[in-house]
Every structure is written in C-alpha cells, then in structure tokens.
C-alpha cells in the first residue's frame, strides 16, 4: 500500500469513529459477539454492558458482587467473564470466571481456588480469550507481590485446569489473544513485548519493534487477532493501534486513540478500543 493511499484510508477511518461512555461507564475489557454486539466489562459498576456497532446501548446485566475485568465470547455465543471478588476478612481480591448467556443468565462459575495454590487470594486475572477450536478458556494473570509470578492458565469449560505456563521473564501479561490455529499471543505490559505460544503452551518467540528503525510500540496493553490472522496491539504511550503479522512483522499503524487499553475486532471489519482513563469506548467502522 502506498503512503498516500494509507493516509487516505486512515483519514477516512478517523473521521467516521464513534465514541461513547464516560462517567456512567467503568470500561475495561471488550469483545465483539458473532451478532456484532459490543460487550464491555463495566468494572466499578459490577455489570456487563452491551451496545450495537453504532455505540447505541442495548442492555446490561449485573455480575453481582464481582468486579468484571475482561470478557470473551465462545463459539456458541456465550460470554465468559473474568472477575475479582473482594474478601474483607483477608483484605484480598479473589479471581474467578463466569459464563453467561447474552441476556445475563449465569450458566457456570468457578473461582481462583481451583488453581491449587495456597495463594489463591493473591492472584489477579488480567485477560481472557476463548479458543473456538478447542473450547478452552485461556486466562492471563499472576500472583502479584509473591515473586511477581505471572503466567497463563488454560481451563476447560467445566473449570478443570488443562495446563499453566509462562515465560520465565514474563512480568505483566495484560491481555491475551488466540488465532484460528490455536496459537496464543500474550501482551506483556512491563517488558513491552508480545509472546507467541503454540496451542500446547510451547513458547515459540516474542516480538516488539526492534529493527524497524522507529519505536512503534512502547507500552502494550491490549492484543487481539482479527479474522485475517493479523495481530492488533494497542500502544498506550503514543496513542496508536498497531497491526503486525502473526510472525511479528509490523504492517502499519491503523488508528490513533488516546490512552488505549483493551481492543477487539468485529466480523465486518470494525475496530473497537477502550480508553480506561476516561472510561470511553471508540468504534472504527473499518481499519
């Protein structure tokens, strides 16, 4: 693509963006369903918010006393939400996972104690993605304050643990994505790299922007994989959304949004990004 063509496309995208949210929303994780509904984890308000691709509010439902962090959708259209539950007796947050229908009816739930660690109360979940090929639930998180032991957990829908893994240098996995071959991409917000693992949790490689001549990504926050297998990464420091190949080669900058967080793409080419600083969600009809 020529620079003039790319510039024209970026301008068209910028002009057609839709932003919603604000004081009534505590936006964290986001996903786009197969029905093209935008689903947002409304953290402080303890609920899930659902919008159409024009940003129009459709419905919401409560997560009870749990603070939702991130959300993903499985191949049956059900929502999976990672959350934190505050335990006043130990003054700690317990992590867990819930499955909901899109109307908010709870189907399943399991908590952080299933990890088998005595430090379950210290675990913080940060990202979730559903692998539509295996139906596995892939979650990032760690035991902050206990050796900064960050890792990836893979669960079955019944809550049984399949495996857990992580790179020895992993410091702060902030988001997770999976491609149609089951490869797993982890954004590390402290080391500023993306890890790639195969479907069995075997480390393949990691990538950043070294060797490109320009530092494209300074702070990874959100990562997703679109329908073409392209890896989309948000850059919280320079307010850019970047596109990479699945092999880690930088393709181009696809959008500019301030103070970026989680990111998702829709089946019709929409790009959805969250700004957790001002609790807004921005929709780009195309990228």
pTM comes to: 0.88
237 pLDDT above the threshold of 90: no
User: Would you place residue 51 in the very low, low, confident or very high pLDDT band (cuts 50, 70, 90)?
Assistant: very high
pLDDT digit string, tens, across residues 119-147: 555 678 999 999 999 999 999 988 765 55
Contact 231, 244 (CB under 8 A): yes
User: Would you place residue 15 in the very low, low, confident or very high pLDDT band (cuts 50, 70, 90)?
Assistant: low
Mean pLDDT of 167-176: 85
210 pLDDT above the threshold of 60: no
> What pLDDT is attached to residue 11?
35
CATH fold of the domain at 3-284: Neuraminidase (2.120.10)
Q: What is the CA radius of gyration of the chain?
A: 18
90 pLDDT above the threshold of 60: yes
In angstroms, what CA-CA distances link 261 with 173, 224, 240, 272?
13, 12, 11, 10
Q: Which of 106-120, 135-149, 239-253 has the lowest mean pLDDT?
A: 106-120
Q: Where are the domains of the chain?
A: 3-284
* 91 token code pair: 């003054």
Percentage of the chain beyond pLDDT 90 is 62
Q: What is the mean pLDDT of the chain?
A: 85
> What pLDDT is attached to residue 86?
80
Mean pLDDT of 220-247: 90
CA distance 259 to 241: 11
> What pLDDT is attached to residue 13?
46
CB atoms near residue 238 (< 10 Å): 14
> What pLDDT is attached to residue 188?
87
């Amino acid at each position: 693509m020529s620079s003039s063509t790319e510039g024209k496309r970026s301008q068209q995208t910028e002009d057609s963006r839709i932003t919603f949210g604000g004081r009534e929303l505590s936006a964290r994780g986001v996903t786009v369903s197969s029905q093209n509904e935008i689903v947002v984890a409304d953290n402080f308000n303890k609920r899930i918010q659902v919008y159409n691709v024009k940003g129009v509010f459709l419905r919401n439902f409560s997560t009870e006393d749990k603070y939702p962090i991130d959300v993903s959708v499985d191949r049956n259209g059900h929502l999976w939400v990672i959350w934190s539950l505050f335990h006043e007796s130990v003054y700690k947050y317990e992590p867990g996972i819930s499955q909901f229908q899109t109307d908010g009816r709870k189907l399943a739930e399991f908590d952080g104690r299933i990890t088998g660690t005595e430090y379950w109360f210290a675990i913080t979940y940060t990202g979730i993605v559903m692998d539509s090929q295996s139906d596995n639930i892939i979650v990032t998180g760690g035991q902050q304050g206990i050796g900064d032991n960050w890792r990836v957990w893979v669960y079955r829908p019944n809550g049984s643990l399949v495996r857990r893994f992580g790179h020895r240098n992993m410091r702060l996995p902030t988001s997770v994505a999976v491609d149609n071959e089951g490869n797993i991409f982890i954004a590390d917000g402290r080391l500023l790299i993306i890890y790639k693992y195969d479907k069995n949790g075997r480390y393949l490689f990691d990538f950043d922007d070294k060797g490109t001549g320009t530092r494209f990504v300074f702070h990874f926050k959100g990562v997703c994989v679109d329908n073409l297998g392209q890896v989309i990464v948000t850059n919280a420091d320079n307010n850019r959304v970047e596109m990479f190949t699945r092999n880690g080669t930088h393709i181009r900058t696809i959008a500019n949004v301030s103070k970026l967080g989680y990111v998702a793409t829709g089946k019709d080419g929409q790009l959805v990004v969250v700004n957790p600083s001002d609790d807004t969600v921005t929709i780009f009809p195309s990228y």
